[in-house]
Amino acid sequence: MGLLENKTAIVTGAAQGIGAKIAEKFAEHGASVAVVDINRERAEACAKVLAEKSIQSEAYVVDVSNTEAVKDLVAQVVKRFGRVDVLVNNAGITRDGLLLKMSENDWDLVISVNLRSVFNFTKAIAHTMMKQRSGSIINISSVVGLFGNAGQMNYAASKAGVIGATKSAAKEFASRNIRVNAIAPGYIQTAMTDKLDEKSRNALLEHIPAKTLGQPEDVANAALFLASELSSYVTGEVLRVDGGMAM
C-alpha cells in the first residue's frame, strides 16, 4: 500500500519538470491526481500517463493567477473526486533581468503567477480541508527566496513571499489539522539547466557543497514526505532540497 492510498492531490504546474515528477510520485503511492497547468496539451499528456498506471487522474487548464478561475477549478476537482487531501502549489515562471532594466510587466507577471497563485489555491481549498479537518498544503519556494540573486529580484521576491505565506497559513490552519509547508529547491537538473555550457555549469557547482545538481525526483521525494502522514507533526517548515547550497 502506498503512502497516499485513497487520497486526492492537486498539483499545479504539473505538466513538466518538478511538477510532473511530483504528480508521478504521488500516483505511484496511490493518490488520485488533478494535473493543473496552463498548457492543455502537456497537461492532458501527463494525466494520460498517470491514468495508464490505473490511477485516477484528470487534466485541468487554468491561469493560476486568475482568482475566480481557480475557485471554479477547485470546485470541479472536489466534485469530481469528492475530496482534496493534498495541494501542491508548484506553478511558477521566471522573467530574469537586472532591476534597472526590469519592466513593470515582468515584475507583475512573476508575482502574479508565483505568489498570487498560492493565495488563490490555498483560499479556494481551505473550506474543503477545514470541513475534512485534514489536509496538507505544500508550496514550492526556492533557495533564491532565502538569499536573493542578482538579476532575479522579481523571482526572489515572489519565492520569499511564498515562505511568508506558508508560515502565516500554517498558523491559521494548524488547529484544523491542516499542515502547510514549503520546499525550497536549489539548482535542479531540468530543461533550463541543461542549456548551460560547461563553464557556467562548473561555476554553478562551486556554490553547491554536494558538487552536483539535484534531480526532480529529489524534490518529489520531499513533497511525498510532506504530503503523507510521515510528516503529521510538521507544519510551517521550509525544507531545503539544495545539496547544502543555502547552509
Which residues on adjacent β-strands are paired with residue 30?
none
* Main-chain phi, psi angles of 152, to 5 degrees: -135, 40
Distances (CA, A) of 70 to 36, 82, 117, 143: 10, 17, 8, 27
Is the distance from CB of 145 to CB of 163 less than 8 angstroms?
yes
Q: Residue 96 in 3-state DSSP? A: coil
Q: How far apart are alpha carbons 149 and 57 in whole angstroms? A: 37
Residue from 60, 155, 187, 233 carrying the catalytic annotation: 155
The residue written with cell numbers 511538477 in the block is 19
**Cα angle, residue 74 at apex, residues 71 and 78 outer, rounded to 5°:** 140
Helix ranges, the chain (H): 17-28, 40-51, 67-81, 104-111, 117-132, 144-147, 153-173, 191-194, 198-205, 216-227
Provide the sign of the torsion angle of the four alpha carbons 240, 242, 243, 246, taken in this order: negative
Q: Is 155 a catalytic site residue?
A: yes
Enumerate residues 6+ apart whose C-beta is below 8 A from 31: 2, 4, 5, 7, 8, 9, 55, 85, 86, 227
Active-site amino acid positions: 155
